[in-house]
Amino acid sequence: MSHRGEFRGADSGAARDADIGLADRLRAGDERAFIVLLDRYATAMLRLASIYLPRAVAEEVVQDTWLGVLQGIGSFEARSSLKTWIFAILMNRARTHMQREGRSIPFSGLSDPAADPVEPAVDPSRFIVIADDPGWPYHWATPWPKSWGDSPEDRLLSKEVQAEIQCAIDGLPSSQREVITLCDIEGWEPAEVTAVLGITASNQRVLLHRARSKVRRALEQYFGEE
């Protein structure tokens, strides 16, 4: 797998030094270093593995990944971030488990926009057609989305709306779900996402755009039905 999330600049240099320090502590058997990594990544690892595997199986894969981290830390050479290295191990473990179980989702199609059903990112009815207004064909039928209330930020933070967002994400194709999970839930940089998932930057952008469009569409429908 190609690692695109290489270290750049002063901040990246500090992150690289921190990764090397953590790796050295792990090699020395420092339990506190392992706890630091668990606190940082365990939840995200389980969330990513659960996209393709049942919860109980995903938990086993995460545990197996940590075992692989401890056994293989001697091979970490900081050519990528420690996070990227750990999550690459997770993805490899998950792929192996899926192949062993004969699950129906081929990993050759994961994170590939071409593997998703052909569909527009935005409903065509949202645009003006020539018959409706020949002077503004294919522009937005309305200049902006409908209002979500006086305080849309507060509404988006409510538990009910958060549940609606998660439901929309859960309904996405797997390739879109993993990208929006890493980018918008976990807050990863695009280069980290492409490195771990083994996709191109253009594929990452397409998948994220499609995923966000569908989640926004679900929220517009939710607020419109209130």
Q: What is the pLDDT of residues 17-67, one digit of tens each?
A: 888 899 999 999 999 999 999 999 999 999 999 998 999 999 999 999 999
**Is 80 exceeded by the pLDDT of residue 153?**
no
Give the whole-angstrom CA distance, residue 217 versus residue 176. 15
> What domains, with CATH codes, occur in the chain?
12-100 (1.10.1740.10), 108-222 (1.10.10.10)
**Paired tokens of 223:** 């607020």
pLDDT tens digits for range 96-146: 888 887 654 444 445 555 555 556 555 666 666 655 555 555 555 565 455
**Paired tokens of 134:** 């020949």
The DSSP symbol for 149 reads -
- The pLDDT score that the predictor gives to residue 114 is 52
Give the whole-angstrom CA distance, residue 122 versus residue 211. 11
Q: How far is CA 10 from CA 14, 16, 195, in A?
A: 6, 10, 21
- Top pLDDT among 98 and 89 is at 89
pTM exceeds 0.75, yes or no? no
Contact present, 26 and 86 (Cβ < 8 Å): no
